Amino acid sequence: MATLANIVWLGTKELRSFGRDYVLLGLVVYSFSLAILAQAQSSSQELHNAAIAIVDEDRSTLSRQITQAFLPPHFKPPVAIAERDIVPALNAGTYTFVLDIPPRFQADLLGLKPARLQLDIDATAMVQAGLGAAYAQQIVADEVARFVGRAGGPAPAPVALVARIAFNPNAETAWFTSVMGILNSVTMLAIILAGAAVVRERERGTLEHLLVMPVTPFEIAMAKVWSNGLVILVAVGLSLVLVVRGLLHVPIIGSIPLFLVGTAAYLFFATAIGLFLGTLARSMPQLGLIYLLVYLPLAMLSGSNTPLESMPPWLATLLQASPTVHFVAFAQAILYRGAGLDAVWTRIVVVSAIGAVFVVAAILRFRKTVALS
C-alpha cells in the first residue's frame, strides 16, 4: 500500500508539473484539436466544389441536360463561356474543368455518327483533376444513355454494377484521416511527454531531490507512466467527442469506452518507450532527435497510412510484433466497424503483453540510470 500511495502521490506531482509547462500543455491541446481539424479538412481525397465551365455550341436538349447534371457538392454550378475564352480561363486558373460540347452533338448521336466531347482540365489541381475527369465521364455517359433511351434509340446494357461502400458510404477522407490523426498523436505525445518528464527532472535538478526521499526508482517510473498516460487518455476522449463527432460530424459507430480501454493498454507501451528514451537523452534537443528515429517508423509502418497488405510479406509478418500495428487494427475495428470486445480482445491482450515487456525494460533502464546519477 505504501508503494501504491507513493506512485499516486508522485503521479499527481507530475500532473501539477505538466499543468505549469505551457509548451507541452499547448502541444497536447493543439495535437488533439486544431491538428485533427487541419488534417481532416485539408487533405481531402474526394471531389468537392470543382470549378467547371461549359461551352455549349450545340444548344440542344441533350446539351442542356448534360449542363444541368453537373451539380454540387462535387462541382460548382457550371458557368457558360464562349469557345474563345477556354484558353484564357485555364491560363488564369479560373476553372479546373471546361467541357466543350460541339455543334450538332445531339444530331450526330441520334444519327449514329461519331459524337465527341472535349474536356479541358487544369491538372495543376492534381487530385481534383484525376477524380473530376472520371466523374465528368460518368455524368455524360449517364445523361447520354438516359436521353437515347427516351428518344427510342438502342437501350443501355442490361447489366449494371452497383457498388456499395461499407462503413464510409460517401468515401469521405475526413472520416479516415481524423481518427488516424488521433492514433498518430497518441503515439507521438506518449513518447514526448514521458521522455520529457525524465529529461525535465534531470535538467532542473529535481531528480536528486526525489532520490533522497523514501521512494524507489520503480515508484518514480510508474508515476510518470500513469500520469502522462492519463493526460493523453483524457485528451483522446475529448477529441473524439468534441472534434471528430462534434465539429467534423464523423459518426462513431463503436464503443468509445472500449476504445479507451484499448488505448490505455497501448499507452503502457508508448509511455515506456518515452521513458526509455528519456534515460538516453541528456537534454530536450537530444530527446527530439532520438524521438524522430523511433516515432517515424512506428507511425509509417503502423497500417494507418498504408495497409499491411500493400507491404512486402516479410515486413508485414515482422510488424506483427509492433503494438502500434495492433493498436491501429483494433481502433479501426471498434470505431469504424462497431466491433465488440469479442472481436478485438486478442489484439488488446497482445498490446498489453508487449507493453508489459517494454515497461519492465524501461524501468530497469531507468533504475540503472538513477543509480548512476
> Is the pLDDT assigned to residue 256 strictly greater than 90?
yes
> Which three three-digit cell numbers place residue 82?
464562349
- Tell me: pLDDT of 157 over 50: no
- Domain chopping of the chain, boundaries: 2-43+172-372, 52-150
Cell numbers found for residue 225 = 507512466
Mean pLDDT of all residues in 161-190: 76
What is d(CA 141, CA 363) in angstroms, rounded to the nearest whole number? 65
Mean pLDDT of 70-97: 86
Per-residue confidence band for 150, with pLDDT thresholds at 50, 70 and 90: confident
Dist CA 314 CA 308 (whole Å): 11
Span 263-289, mean pLDDT? Answer: 90
DSSP states of 176-237:
HHHHHHHHHHHHHHHHHHHHHHHHHHHHHTHHHHHHTSS--HHHHHHHHHHHHHHHHHHHHH
User: What CA–CA distance (Å, rounded) separates 308 from 316?
Assistant: 6
Strand, helix or coil at 336?
A: coil
Contact between residue 339 and residue 333 where contact means Cβ atoms under 8 Å apart: yes
Q: What's residue 279's pLDDT?
A: 85
Q: Is 44 exposed, middle or buried (0-12, 13-18, 19+ CB in 10 A)?
A: middle
Average pLDDT, whole number, for the chain? Answer: 84
pLDDT at residue 371, rounded to an integer? 62
State residue 165's pLDDT score: 56
According to the model, what pLDDT value does residue 43 have? 58
Least confident window among 26-30, 130-134, 194-198, 247-251 = 130-134
Residue 133 has pLDDT above 90, yes or no: no
Question: What strand order describes the sheet that includes 52-56?
Answer: 79-80, 52-56, 97-101, 118-121
Fold observed for domain 52-150: abc type-2 transporter like fold (3.40.1710)
